[in-house]
């Protein structure tokens, strides 16, 4: 299993590739990390040092791998936090090279968008790029509910409205969608919920909400990474959802027990292969 992972890198702490690479490696994936930005720390500290990588690096480095003849071995491209809209075009160029080398390779797009409610800061134009260009090319997409609302252009207040919106996204091209964080009106506030759908099935899963002084960042990046690695190892959508939820919950429990703000990515390493809690997905459809 080889995964080209195009996301942010933070030197200190965990977000983007710094939250995604190690968990995927623990699940047995050879990860090829390609960094869109190199920042001192994630943007929710409000200040950071570092730079957005020159956009052409993305296609140049991918072309370099193609020249070695190894790109054909790559099973998937995972994209996450993008540093500039211009980088988007180079991610699509990298995807074209990958699909030319391996027509079976899949593209998992985690459409990381900035949002005032989340405090995550993303460059202008990135959301438009993701909605108009990246999502139609993707096989798997993993927005949170806010991002789903930005994709379909309206707010969503019930689970049934969210399911309808997910099917609209599937109609644009992707075969699988994971909603990494739900916050519709009638949701049980004691539970964190996620939803996974294809055209044939829909699954909901819950984990208990943990108390944090400040919500850890990078949870979504780790979630997308584990979901992709689970699917690539042959798990069904429901089994991938269950494994991902249990593993991330284990990491969050460890993080909470240490009263840390940054995810306990390394200390909780056993969770990626043998999660300490078993969580079961609920089948929504077919009933
Ligand atoms: N079990 C949990 N208890 C408390 N907070 C959680 C739990 N699971 C996830 N979170 C928090 O929920 C948020 C993840 O949702 P969100 O930020 O909307 O998605 P994403 O990380 O994909 O952008 C993170 O801030 C994370 O710390
Ligand atoms: C550099 C960087 N990468 C990725 C993310 C995405 O993190 P999350 O998984 O919480 O959406 C953030 C959020 O602030 C970030 O600052
Ligand atoms: Mg996110």
Q: For residue range 241-283, list pLDDT tens digits in order.
A: 999 999 999 999 999 999 999 999 999 999 999 999 999 999 9
120 lines ligand 2 (CB under 6 A): yes
Mean pLDDT estimate for the chain: 97
3-state DSSP call for residue 10?
A: strand
Structure tokens at 78: 């995972």
Q: Which CATH architecture has domain 2-285?
A: 3-Layer(aba) Sandwich (3.40)
**Atom of ligand 2 at shortest distance to CA of 223?**
9
**pTM (global) more than 0.90:** yes
Q: What is the pLDDT of residues 166-219, one digit of tens each?
A: 999 999 999 999 999 999 999 999 999 999 999 999 999 999 999 999 999 999
Q: Residue 201 and residue 4: Cα distance in Å, rounded?
A: 28
Ligand nearest to the CA of 120: 2
Q: Which of 9, 13, 18, 25 has the alpha carbon at shortest distance from 228?
A: 25
Pocket test for ligand 2, best of 8, 12, 255 (most atoms within 8 A of CB): 8
**Atom of ligand 1 at shortest distance to CA of 249?**
1
Q: What is the pLDDT of residues 19-51, one digit of tens each?
A: 999 999 999 999 999 999 999 999 999 999 999
Residue closest by Cα to atom 6 of ligand 2: 218
> Would you kindly state where each structural domain of the chain is located, as residue ranges?
2-285
Residue closest by Cα to atom 2 of ligand 1: 209
Write the CB contacts of 276 (distance below 8 Å, at least 6 apart in sequence).
Answer: 246, 250, 253, 270
The H or E element containing residue 22 is helix 17-26
Q: Which residues are annotated as a binding site for substrate?
A: 8, 43-44, 221
- What distance lies between CA 54 and its chain's CA centroid? 23
How many of the other CB atoms lie within 10 Å of CB of 262? 19
């Amino acid at each position: 299993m080889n995964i080209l992972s195009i996301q942010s890198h933070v030197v200190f702490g965990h977000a983007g590739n710094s939250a995604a690479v190690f968990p995927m490696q623990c699940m047995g994936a050879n990860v090829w990390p390609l960094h869109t930005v190199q920042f001192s720390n994630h943007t929710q500290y409000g200040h950071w040092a570092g730079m957005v990588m020159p956009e052409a690096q993305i296609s140049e480095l991918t072309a370099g791998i193609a020249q070695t003849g190894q790109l054909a071995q790559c099973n998937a491209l995972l994209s996450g936090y993008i540093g500039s809209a211009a980088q988007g075009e180079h991610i699509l160029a990298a995807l074209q090279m990958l699909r030319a080398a391996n027509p079976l390779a899949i593209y998992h797009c985690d459409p990381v968008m900035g949002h005032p409610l989340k405090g995550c800061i993303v460059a202008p134009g990135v959301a438009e790029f993701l909605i108009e260009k990246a999502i139609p090319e993707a096989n798997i997409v993993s927005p949170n509910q806010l991002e789903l609302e930005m994709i379909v252009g309206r707010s969503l207040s019930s689970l049934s409205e969210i399911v309808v919106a997910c099917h609209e996204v599937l109609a644009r091209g992707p075969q699988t969608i994971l909603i990494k964080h739900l916050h519709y009106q009638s949701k049980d506030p004691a539970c964190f919920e996620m939803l996974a759908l294809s055209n044939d099935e829909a699954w909901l899963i819950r984990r208990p909400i943990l108390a944090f002084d400040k919500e850890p960042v990078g949870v979504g990046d780790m979630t997308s990474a584990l979901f992709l690695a689970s699917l690539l190892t042959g798990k069904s959508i429901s089994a991938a959802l269950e494994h991902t939820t249990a593993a991330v919950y284990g990491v969050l429990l460890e993080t909470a027990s240490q009263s840390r703000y940054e995810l306990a990515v390394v200390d909780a390493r056993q969770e990626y292969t043998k999660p300490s809690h078993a969580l079961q997905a609920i089948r929504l459809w077919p009933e």
